[in-house]
Amino acid sequence: MSSLTKGFLSLTDRSSLRIRIPARIVKLATHLLTGQQVAIKIIDKKAIGDDLPRVKTELDALKKLCHQHICRLYQYIETEHKFYVVMEYCSGGELFDYIVRKNRLEESEARHFFRQLVQAMAYVHASGFAHRDLKPTYT
């Protein structure tokens, strides 16, 4: 990873910020020129197999979207075996984990999250894209 990001990104090795899900690892990094923290998803191409063209299409689409309720994709780097996806670092974590921690949401809070979701999806659709997999767990 260091040869890919040399001069631009510095990985922060904090195990609490590393998330392992099938075919992906997420790490926190710092952009060396701006000091901005970013999340880097490391996606193993072998694990996504035949979905490779779909993943590339989705990454290209997400790169075009810029909305306050959508995690921004800044760039992705493709190597022979992996994708390194540089995204906005969202420190709040996943909505699912938040709901589990609270046990339940008050109606006003659920309405607040739902409004943000609807605004984001309206923007996505107005931009000519559709989201086929909405859920409160995402990394």
Q: Which residues are known to be catalytic?
A: 133
Distance of alpha carbon 119 from alpha carbon 115, whole angstroms? 6
Question: Up-side HSE of residue 81: CA atoms within 13 Å toward CB?
Answer: 1
Q: What is the DSSP secondary structure assignment for residue 132, as one 8-state letter?
A: S
Contacts of 34 (CB under 8 A, 6+ apart): none
- Distance of CA 16 to CAs 27, 29, 59, 67, 115, Å? 9, 13, 25, 27, 30
